[in-house]
Amino acid sequence: MTAKSTENQKQWHVVYTRSRAEKKVNDELFRQNIECYLPLQKKLRQWKDRKKWVEFPLMSGYCFVNITRREYDFVLQTDNVVCYVTFEGKAAVIPEYQIEALRKMTKQYDFEVNVTTENFEPGQIVEIIVGPMIGLRGELVKARGKNKFIIRLDQLKSAVVIEIPAEHLTAVPVEM
Query: Please, are residues 136 and 101 in contact by the beta-carbon 8 Å criterion?
Result: yes
pLDDT in tens, 27-62: 999 999 999 999 988 888 898 999 998 888 988 899
The CATH classification number of 96-176 equals 2.30.30.30
Give strand ranges (E) for 32-136: 35-37, 40-46, 51-57, 62-67, 81-84, 86-87, 90-91, 93-94, 113-116, 125-128
Q: Would you say how long the chain is, in residues? A: 176
Query: Please, are residues 58 and 113 in contact by the beta-carbon 8 Å criterion?
Result: yes
Does this model's pTM top 0.75? My answer is no
The CATH classification number of 1-94 equals 3.30.70.940
pLDDT in tens, 101-147: 888 877 765 566 666 664 544 577 777 777 777 777 777 666 555 56
Q: What is the mean pLDDT of residues 147-152?
A: 66
Separation CA 11–CA 124 (nearest Å): 29
3-state DSSP call for residue 172? coil
Q: Do the strands 113-116 and 158-163 form a parallel or antiparallel pair, or are they unpaired?
A: antiparallel
Query: Domain-by-domain residue ranges, the chain?
Result: 1-94, 96-176
